[in-house]
Every structure is written in C-alpha cells, then in structure tokens.
C-alpha cells in the first residue's frame, strides 16, 4: 500500500504523517521540543481542561506553556461545556496555535466522570455540540482524537467521526481501543478501517504503535493516512523520526549513543528543571530518567541514586555511569 507523504489541513501542512500523542504528565513542552528536534510531522500538547485554562488556574497554565510559537504543535483541549470549550479554543488560537485538537479519547475516571474525554462517546449529540462550538469559534483547523467507542457494545466512532466531519473537523485520530479497555489488551488497528471508510478527512491510527514494524502493520490493517505514537516514544524521543524515515523517506535521525546520549538526557533533565522549577522539575523528570535507564540496563542501586538524589548536579554527574553501560554492552 502506498503511504501518504503529507496531510493538508486548511493553512496547515502535516508532513510526514507521524505524530506525537498527547500524554498527561509526559508530553510537556521540553519533551515535545526534544521529539521535534529529531523530526515529527506534528506534536500534540497534553490535554488542557478548557474551563480551568480560561480561568487561568496555575497548573493548567503551566501545562499550557503550550509552545504556541512552535511549528507543528496542536493544542489539545477537553471539557463538557460548549461555552468553555469555545472560549478555550479562542484563547489558544489567539496565542498563535497552529491548530486545535479536541479530546474525546481520554479514559481516565477523573476525566470521564466529568463527562469529558471518552465519556462524550456515550452522548454523540452533546459531543457534536462541543465540536461545533469549537469549530465556529476559531479560524484555525480543528481536529479530533477519540476511541473506537465506550465499550465493545457501542463501537460508534465511525458515526461520531462522520458527524464531526460535517461539523468541520479536518482530521480524526483513533486509538484502537474502547474506553472500557483503558490500555489493556491490544489495539485493534483493523477496526479503524471502518472509521476510515466512514469519512473523507484524514484518519490517524493510534495505540500500541512503538516502532517501524508496528507502524507499518497499523497502516496496513487500518488503511489510515498516518500514525500517532505515544508510549513508544518514552525513553526514545527519536522513534517518530525513525518511523518517518522508513515509511516516508525523510532523513534518518542521528540516534545518540555514548557521550552524545548522556548529553541529550542531561539537557532534557535541565530543560525540565528550568520549565517547572527545581523541585517540581525533579519529580516530573523521574519518569523520563527511568525510561532512559530502562533502555540502558542501569543497575538498581545506581538507578535508585539517580531517582532519589535531590541535587541536580549529583544526578548529572551520575548519568555517564548509568547510561554508558549500554554503550559498553
């Protein structure tokens, strides 16, 4: 099957069609910038609650250090009220976001219990009111991210996507699980094919895509126009560029090893300290350091020291020993 090399939204070109998924607490600005530095068609911000964003609660604003000026960045908003969704969209667009993504896929209970995220799949009429409010509020493209349905008995994403296209959505990303699956089992890429057939806008496959082989298989089974990678990029910020290179002929990334890898991880750590402040930055960075050390096979005692030491200088000093083991192996 021939692969699509680029996708065109109104006034926005997405090339190659390989995107970084929004992951709460993970795809913050430092990580998105790192992934983009290797190469990605576009990246999506962490989900931002629409009402809280407009009312400027600090944590939401921090999360919404959204990189408005970063090329190829979508800002993802979530909510249950059409007014607040529209107001958040206006705020995001006025700050220069390239396009806006609506979250109808988050399975977290604290989101769905507020009738946001994937809970909207249970009420398509209300979901469409939110979509229409956002589309009508802004001039930038609006996209949608959702799941196959609420559960196995209500696989209604094709119906929702078709109505969303009529409402003005320009691209839809489908995670190949239902909400009730959360992240259990395997993503059903073949089920995305029905949604692709229900719309004429681009469809992006998401879920369990972690490398070139899984991306290739997801595209083959779904007929989708591109892929979105989330957890597969944890500890491997270059994986999107690898997939793009193999599937779309973009330049292959220079994957760092040895001292270059240590330098990249150290720079990522310092960027997080700068972004969040020292105390919160250390906490937020632990998961990323852990993933890097997973890949490097860092011994447990050294891993523990890096993840618990409160002194950033000490952490940076330990990184060469923690990461170099992979080089020596």
> Rounded to 5 degrees, what are φ and ψ at 5?
-95, -25
- CA dist., res. 39 & res. 315, Å (int): 28
Contact 173, 206 (CB under 8 A): yes
4-57: pLDDT as tens digits: 677 778 767 788 999 999 998 899 999 999 999 999 999 998 888 777 777 765
- CA dist., res. 207 & res. 242, Å (int): 17
pLDDT over 50 (residue 115): no
Element (H, E) at 166: helix 157-167
Specify the higher pLDDT residue, 80 or 175.
175
Contact 306, 249 (CB under 8 A): no
Under DSSP, is residue 126 helix (H, G, I), strand (E, B) or coil?
Answer: helix
311: Cβ contacts below 8 Å, ≥ 6 apart: none
User: Given this model, what pLDDT does residue 174 score?
Assistant: 96
Return the domain boundaries, the chain: 7-248, 258-328
Contact 226, 194 (CB under 8 A): no
Peptide bond preceding 113 in cis form (omega within 30 of 0): no
Q: What is the mean pLDDT of the chain?
A: 87
311's tokens: 């002194």
Distances (CA, A) of 44 to 18, 69, 101: 11, 13, 8
Q: What is the dihedral of CA 95, 99, 105, 106, to 10 degrees?
A: -20
- CA dist., res. 127 & res. 180, Å (int): 18
- CA dist., res. 85 & res. 48, Å (int): 10
User: Given this model, what pLDDT does residue 329 score?
Assistant: 42
User: Given this model, what pLDDT does residue 4 score?
Assistant: 65
194's tokens: 């029905």
Give me the DSSP letters along 280-312: HHHHHHHHHHHHHHHHHT--HHHHHHHHH---H
67's tokens: 């990189």
User: Given this model, what pLDDT does residue 327 score?
Assistant: 47
Dihedral of CA 225/11/79/273: which sign?
Answer: positive
Question: Does 7-248 carry CATH code 3.90.1150.10?
Answer: no
H helices of 5-49, in order, are: 29-38
Lowest mean pLDDT among 2-6, 92-96, 173-177, 266-270: 2-6
Lowest mean pLDDT among 69-78, 256-265, 278-287: 69-78
Which residues have a catalytic role annotated? 106
172-221: pLDDT as tens digits: 999 998 877 767 889 999 999 999 999 999 999 999 999 999 999 999 99
* pTM (whole model) above 0.95: no
Lowest mean pLDDT among 109-123, 131-145, 148-162, 212-226: 109-123
């Amino acid at each position: 099957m021939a692969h699509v090399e680029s996708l065109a939204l109104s006034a926005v070109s997405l090339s190659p069609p390989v995107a970084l998924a929004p992951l709460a607490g993970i795809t913050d600005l430092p990580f998105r910038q790192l992934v983009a530095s290797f190469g990605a068609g576009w990246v999506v911000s962490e989900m931002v609650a629409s009402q809280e964003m407009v009312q400027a609660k600090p944590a939401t604003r921090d999360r919404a250090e959204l990189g408005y000026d970063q090329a190829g960045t979508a800002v993802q908003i979530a909510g249950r009220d059409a007014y607040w969704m529209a107001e958040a969209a206006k705020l995001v667009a006025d700050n220069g976001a390239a396009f806006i993504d609506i979250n109808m896929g988050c399975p977290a209970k604290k989101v769905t219990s507020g009738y946001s995220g994937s809970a909207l799949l249970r009420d398509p009429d209300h979901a469409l009111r939110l979509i229409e409010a956002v589309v009508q509020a802004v001039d930038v493209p609006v996209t949608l991210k959702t799941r196959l349905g609420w559960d196995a008995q209500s696989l209604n994403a094709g119906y929702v996507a078709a109505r969303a296209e009529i409402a003005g959505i320009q691209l839809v990303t489908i995670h190949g699980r239902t909400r009730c699956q959360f992240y259990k089992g395997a993503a059903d890429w073949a089920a995305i094919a029905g949604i692709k057939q229900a719309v004429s806008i681009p469809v992006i496959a998401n879920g369990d895509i972690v490398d070139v082989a899984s991306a290739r298989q997801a595209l083959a089974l779904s007929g989708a126009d591109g892929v979105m990678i989330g957890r597969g990029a944890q500890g491997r910020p270059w994986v999107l560029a690898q997939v793009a290179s193999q599937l779309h002929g973009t330049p292959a990334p220079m994957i760092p090893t040895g001292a270059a890898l240590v330098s990249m991880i150290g720079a990522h750590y310092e960027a997080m300290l700068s972004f969040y402040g020292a105390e919160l930055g250390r906490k937020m960075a632990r998961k990323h350091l852990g993933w890097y050390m997973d890949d490097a096979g860092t011994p447990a005692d050294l891993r523990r020291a890096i993840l618990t030491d409160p002194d950033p200088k000490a952490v940076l000093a330990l990184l060469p020993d923690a990461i170099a083991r992979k080089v020596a192996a």
